[in-house]
């Protein structure tokens, strides 16, 4: 799931383009005609390029299929900048998002000051959604960006909080997805809010195996890893406390093109959100990341365990 608080002109353009695209939806040859509330319809589900997003996309897909909705999958699209463009051009209709990250991405100048709690984030988010898109009910499940180190690095430098990095960051290499170089909830925010500048930045993947393995192998000393990632417990990594709230609430929420939504779709996705928790998401994500089970198999098991199929 990338997670940002400020956004460059490129994403501002994406938000504008989404609005314009929505206004001309009747002329968009890629727009889906999913019918009204009496029609189950069809939906193309997308995901970002990390395991949790793909698992959530598969959960959404199977929940919709269980209600008779025709689903096409377009997973592993890439970072937020790419999949928002896919939503804009009609390549996808729906994807799992994170309320705080999406708010920051669509807000001019970043998320509003003092907005951090889930319900406040959701209220603010609804005000900046581009025309033609909507969010459904957000889940209690939350997955936030973290700065994580090995237990050895934490002990060596006495690291407990992100603040503690300030005195030693010039000796350390940080690894994250390539987009972190330009994101506020990446290197820019760490410098502006915490006064931290690292010895070097190594572009890897968004909290994925490249980043985890680089941290384990010592190629980097600090990693951006998502808080539900099973590698944290598995490797006894230390998550540094974000004392200045660089990272907003990040509740998982469906983002959908309004023209592809109907009562059946809403019911299926709200049913997922009602059952999705940080704890059960972490548990089932480990089945993919650690046990190497197929994403579709794990999604089916989650839906079955929660009475949704």
Residue 175 vs residue 50, higher pLDDT = 175
What's the pLDDT band for 19 if we cut at 50, 70, 90? very low
Across the chain, what does the average pLDDT equal? 87
Rounded Cα distance between 273 and 12, Å, is 28
Spatial CA neighbour of 142 closest among 117, 170, 174 = 117
User: What domains are defined for the chain?
Assistant: 9-142+249-305 (3.40.190.10), 145-239 (3.40.190.120)
pLDDT for the residue numbered 114 = 72
pLDDT for the residue numbered 34 = 38
Q: Let me know: does 7 contact 107? Beta carbons within 8 Å.
A: yes
Residue 44 vs residue 114, higher pLDDT = 44
pLDDT one-digit tens code per residue, 23-75: 443 333 333 343 333 458 999 999 999 899 999 999 999 999 999 999 999 99
What's the pLDDT band for 111 if we cut at 50, 70, 90? confident
Q: Could you give the 3-state DSSP secondary structure of residue 134?
A: strand
For range 123-130, the mean pLDDT: 92
Indicate whether 153 pLDDT > 60: yes
For range 201-220, the mean pLDDT: 94
For range 230-234, the mean pLDDT: 90
- Provide the whole-model pTM: 0.72
pLDDT one-digit tens code per residue, 289-308: 889 999 999 999 999 999 99
Q: Could you give the 3-state DSSP secondary structure of residue 39?
A: coil
Distance of CA 270 to the CA centre of its chain: 18
Residue given tokens 């006064």 in the structure block = 195
pLDDT for the residue numbered 110 = 73
pLDDT for the residue numbered 36 = 37
Residue 161 CB contacts under 8 Å (≥ 6 apart), including other chains: 240, 241, 242, 243
pLDDT for the residue numbered 131 = 83
pLDDT for the residue numbered 39 = 56
What's the pLDDT band for 105 if we cut at 50, 70, 90? confident
CB atoms within 10 A of CB 34: 20
**Beta-ladder partners of 72:** 44
pLDDT for the residue numbered 32 = 39
pLDDT one-digit tens code per residue, 252-287: 999 999 999 999 999 999 999 999 999 999 999 999
The least confident of 2-11, 87-96, 235-244 is 2-11
DSSP states of 78-110 = -SHHHHHHHHHTTS-SEEEEEHHHHHHHHSTTS
Q: Could you give the 3-state DSSP secondary structure of residue 257?
A: strand
């Amino acid at each position: 799931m990338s997670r940002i608080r400020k956004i460059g002109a490129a994403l501002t353009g994406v938000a504008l383009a989404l609005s314009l695209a929505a206004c001309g939806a009747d002329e968009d040859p890629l727009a889906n005609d999913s019918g009204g509330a009496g029609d189950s319809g069809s939906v193309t589900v997308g995901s970002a390029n990390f395991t949790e997003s793909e698992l959530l996309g598969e959960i959404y897909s199977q929940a919709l299929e269980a209600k008779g909705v025709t689903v096409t999958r377009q997973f592993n699209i890439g970072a937020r900048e790419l999949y928002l463009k896919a939503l804009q051009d009609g390549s996808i209709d729906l994807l799992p998002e994170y309320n705080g990250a999406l708010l920051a991405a669509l807000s001019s100048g970043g998320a509003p000051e003092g907005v951090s709690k889930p319900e406040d984030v959701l209220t603010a988010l609804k005000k900046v959604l581009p025309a033609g898109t909507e969010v459904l009910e957000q889940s209690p499940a939350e997955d936030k960006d973290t700065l994580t180190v090995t237990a050895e690095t934490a002990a060596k430098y006495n690291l407990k909080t992100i603040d503690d990095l300030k005195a030693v960051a010039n000796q350390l290499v940080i690894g994250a997805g390539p987009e972190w170089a330009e994101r506020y909830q990446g290197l820019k925010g760490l410098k502006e809010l915490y006064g931290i500048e690292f010895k070097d930045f190594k572009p890897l993947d968004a909290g994925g195996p490249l980043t985890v393995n680089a941290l384990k192998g010592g190629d980097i000393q600090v990693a951006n890893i998502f808080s539900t990632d099973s590698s944290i417990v598995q490797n006894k990594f230390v998550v540094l406390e974000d004392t200045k709230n660089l990272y907003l609430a990040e509740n998982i929420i469906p983002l959908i093109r309004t023209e592809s939504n109907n009562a059946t779709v809403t019911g299926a996705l709200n049913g997922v959100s009602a059952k999705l928790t940080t704890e059960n998401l972490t548990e089932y994500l480990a089945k993919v990341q650690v046990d190497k089970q197929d994403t579709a198999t794990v999604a089916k098991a989650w839906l079955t365990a929660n009475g949704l199929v």
